[in-house]
Structure 1
Amino acid sequence: MTKNATIVAGVGMIKFSKPGASDSYDEMGAAAIRAALADSGLGYEDVQQAYAGYVYGDSTSGQKALYHVGMTGIPVINVNNNCSTGSTALFLARQAIEHGVADCVLAVGFEQMQPGALGSHWTDRPTPFDDFDAETDALVGNSQVPLALRYFGGAGKSHMEKFGTKLNDFAKIRAKASRHATRNPLALFDREVTEDEVMAAPMMWEGVMTRLMACPPTCGGAAAILCSESFAKKHNIPTTVSIRAQSMTTDYASTFEAHDMMQVVGYDMTAGASKQVQEQSGIGIEEVDVVELHDCFAHNELITYEGLGLCPEGGAQQFIADGDNTYGGKFVTNPSGGLLSKGHPLGATGLAQCYELTHQLRGTAEARQVEGAKTALQHNLGLGGACVVTLYQAA
């Protein structure tokens, strides 16, 4: 079957905020949509379908945000896939374009989060994390530690035990994120922190994680307009950036059968999705110039280097030491500052990554521009679980 090329026609994003300091979810979503429409030069009446992503909100919150921009009767599909929600909305929008269901589709993500650790809002029924919690209890214990920290701290601990990774390797990642964020006016935390400052932050899990190694709850919104190549030409939209390949994976049996916290947090989902986009596109990982990956914790950024294939398994420590994760190295990872510094409003994160990479491939990322960027890779992970990897190319 012939598939239509998918063009990124417009992107929009608002500066992320701490809980209690943001507008309401619907206003943030609407602001991001308006910014994406303005970037594309299109009107809302041109949009034929919309996919709205959020995790913490009532049903049809997508309509609440979209109706501020227009009420044209189009299909609106609400999406919730944990931390990969934004890229899941993008995945669905891209499928609609690729298979000729629509010629112009909007993906928007937003989140109005509450302070403190993530938790379930439904306590009268089984949670999607029951099996994950049971495996985590068996492997690392520490039930007094917040859920997300146990998962990703446990994965980092597993990597430390297998490959000799040190706590300061995670601190180096956090310091790198802050250096990148100083160049990004949309980053929530734009102050540079040193490796020593990260190591000196309060210890959240002795020998495993300090406070600065975790991303905070964040509020925000981001959006993207995708269209077919024929639609772009008809409406004089530049075809500068396209999605060349995209894959979504969910958990494999190894998530629990491997009895390894790296697998519990989606290492094999990442590896599988990365392999699939390389096979779909015929583009090898070594050809990628810039990467936005899911650094909800510095620990996850480190193991994701290996999961995506940016370095060999067990090679992340050397990869970091060589500076291959930053400007002047092999792959500039998270030039935006990533989730650690830019912030992580769950529903918006995947679309904020799309925003960043689109500007990188257009050459409009200003102070954070990766010189000569032509190929970009996006990785967005949600436990429970789903992983979306997207490969973009500049014309």
Structure 2
Amino acid sequence: MTLSSIKTFTLELDGAADAAFTGGEVVSGQVVLELRRDTRVHSMKVQGRGVATAHWLENRGMNSVYNDYTSRITYFRKRQHLIRDNGEMTILPAGRHEFPFSFQLPEETLVTSFEGKHGSIRYWVKVKLHRPWATVKKIKKEFTVIEPIDINTPALLAPQAGTKDKMARAWYRNFGQVSVTAKIDRKGYTPGEVIPVFAEFDNSTSRSVVPKAYITQTQTFIARGTMKQKRSVVGTLCGDIVGARSRETWHGRAIKIPPVGPSILQCRIIKVEYMLKVCVDVPGTSKLCLELPLVIGTIPLHPFGSRTSSVSSQYSVNLEWLRMAIPEQPERKCHSVLHDRLGEVSI
């Protein structure tokens, strides 16, 4: 059996393996081709692309007919010829060949890389090698793009606060009211930060309740005018029992932001949004939840050094969020605590 003339065919990107890019930066690297013998080549080209895709199937009716919901946005498309097809063969001698390439990402803001259940935002470099009488050889390597979100802006430094109440009911009778008032210092945070939650829980019912707080992530996918959402709880804080007709105050109870991805707010077909929910289970009715919006940014509060420094240098340490599996229902922990502490108590 004749060995292929190609010994190795690799694509290498310059910089650290966990480097992240932003709009306007240059992506560079080289294609390395090692040949066992002289080889004829038609062409070799490198492509850079960035694409957001939302996709899911839905079953309509009893006939197992599925509707396909797909939408796509291309953020950039670049092509560079490393060996141009001029109508004549190019003969590469045996040995090692390196073909450097570089292209600049668009100056406008690019949306952050993302992997979700019903869609993705991906950036990659692909190389295609065309030879006579041979299948096309392809290599593809993805890279990460981060949309800079600086939380040192007035809108993201603004405090968030609210009040909400609900009546406890059983068999059409009212048994008092539960109210929640909560405040956080600002709207913008970065992964790893702790959010001090200031809250007051006023329980006017005859049953004890347990307050809790959640950080939730909502992924929204849009295709053909239809929306699909996936919600996850990414952080949980369980409070102490608030007895019947009593009040409990949180003086900055801490809830930590895990290594989640930043908010995605500028893409038309994929959004990633966060919320802090301060909640109480109200006897006889649905949960009382006060929602305070959050934005998870990439540039931390009062960062050291220049704010114009590379996004990758400020955020690359947290890139594990890109493919991190988020638990679907960590709320169960608080529910089990509530049950264990209170047991079955009637109003």
TM range (shorter): under 0.3
Look at both structures and tell me which one has the larger radius of gyration over its CA atoms.
2
Normalised by the length of structure 1, the TM-score is 0.24
Higher strand share: 2
